[in-house]
Amino acid sequence: MSAQKIFPILLAFFATTSLLIVTGIVISLVVNSYPIFLRDGLSFIFRSAWNPVREDYGILPALLGTLIVSAIAISIALPLAISLAVFSAELAPKSIKRIINSVSDLMAGLPSVIYGLWGLYVLAPALNQYVMTPLHQYLGFVPLFSTKPIPTNLFTAGVLLAIMIIPFASSIIREAYSAVPHHLKEAAYSLGMTRWEVIRTLLGYIRSSILAGAFLALGRAMGETVAVAMVVGNTLTFPRSLFDIGYTIPSLIANQFPNAEAYSYMMPALYGGALILFIAGLIINLAGLYWIRRVMVKS
């Protein structure tokens, strides 16, 4: 009879580990970044500086880089993800639907270092030749395109991230789209709507799920490390256009970490960057989870 009583306690012990790990991670970020915030306060976040010799750090460029890269990613990925979801749930025949869903699952499971390798040697040169250089030549007067592009820059990182998050966002939207009650669809058709008008109506119906998919995908994009580190250019300058080379917070950590031990404030600066990334990511992901849960309660 004692096994009967111990078993739930044993299980509860294992379930507690996830709470401990998350707590441990938060503590490690706070404790290790404490010195830089103690010395510089919030100016650490809002200044542009990276001078290890003078122990002067400000991560504004990396923060802006993270925002720019994920904004590019989500604005490219969202229309494509919605199209992919609608195509698979509504337009494609059953046999093709199965293939599309498998391929999209495979894309979501591919290691990011493979995306990075491909991005660096295939995507970056192609984008540079066929997209970025023409844009700069003909629309260079627009501030967004004003920098003369080299293959690896913020824009390339944004496009590569878009490719990586499409299957993820699409699967959330696809699930919501397929879960729309059938009678709603029938009612829409019975009003004499065309197929596109029905699709538009249903997309309006699931807009909270689309929002949730967008937020969760944005969270992924902000936290991605190696794929971005391979194509973003890795230079801590203030970004002047989409085609400028730059840094994101994760790629800054990945790149600068090997040198950090040699200086007294670089390690705290990197942990500080991670703390800001963590807080931003947490807010975005909680928003996404909140919208998903709201949909689940409604249905």
Partner 1 sequence: MRLNRRKIIDKIMLGIISILAIASAIPIFAILVNVYSEGAKYITLNFLIDLPPPPIGDGGGGIGPALVGSLILVLLALVIAGVIGFFTGLYLSEFSHTKLAQYAQMFLQIMVEFPTIIIGLFAYMVLVAPLKRFNAMAGAIALSIVIIPYIALNVREAYKSIPYTLKEAAFSLGVSAPVAYLRILLNAARHGVLTALLVGIARAAGETAPLLLTILGTTFTYFGGLDQPINAIPLLIYNFALSPYEKWHQVAWGAAAVLLTIILAIFVISRLIVREVKT
Q: Which residues, in sequence order, are CB contacts of 252 under 8 Å at separation 6+? A: 59, 62, 236, 270, 273
Q: Which stretch binds partner 1 (CB under 8 A): 75-83, 128-136, 139-147, 239-247?
A: 75-83
Please give the residues from 34 up to 73 whose contact with partner 1 meets the rule CB under 8 A.
none
Stretch that binds partner 1, among 40-48, 53-61, 76-84, 235-243 (CB under 8 A): 76-84
Q: Report yes or no: 57 and 49 within 8 Å, Cβ to Cβ.
A: yes
Within 13 A of 85's CA, how many CA atoms are on the CB side?
Answer: 28
Told to check if 209 binds partner 1 by CB under 8 A, we report: no
Contact track, partner 1, 220-239, x by CB under 8 A: x-xxxxx--xx---------
Report the site for partner 1 in 128-147 (rule: CB under 8 A).
Answer: none
Q: Which long-range contacts (CB under 8 A, 24 or more apart) does 179-184 make?
A: 179/299, 180/205, 180/206
Site string for partner 1, 83-122 (x = CB under 8 A): xx-xxx--x--------x-xxxxxx-xxxxxxxxxx-xxx
CB of residue 17 vs partner 1: minimum separation in angstroms?
5
- The interface region with partner 1, picked from 28-36, 45-53, 137-145, 206-214 by CB under 8 A, is 28-36
Q: How many residues bind partner 1 (CB under 8 A)?
A: 82
Contact region for partner 1 (CB under 8 A) — 49-57, 132-140, 189-197, 237-245? 189-197
Strands 56-59 and 48-51, how do they pair?
antiparallel
* Closer Cβ to partner 1, 121 or 238, answer by number: 121
Stretch that binds partner 1, among 81-89, 127-135, 139-147, 183-191 (CB under 8 A): 81-89
In this chain, which of 199, 232, 242, 269 binds partner 1, going by CB under 8 A?
199
Q: Report how far residue 108's alpha carbon sits from residue 110's, in angstroms, rounded to the nearest whole number.
A: 6
Which of positions 253-292 make contact with partner 1 (CB under 8 A)? 253-254, 257, 270-271, 274, 277-278, 281-282, 285-286, 289
- Please pick, from the candidates 41, 43, 195, 207, the single residue that binds partner 1 as defined by CB under 8 A: 195
24 binds partner 1 (CB under 8 A): yes
Least distance between partner 1 and beta carbon 291 (Å): 13
Q: Which of 41, 79, 143, 181 binds partner 1 (CB under 8 A)?
A: 79
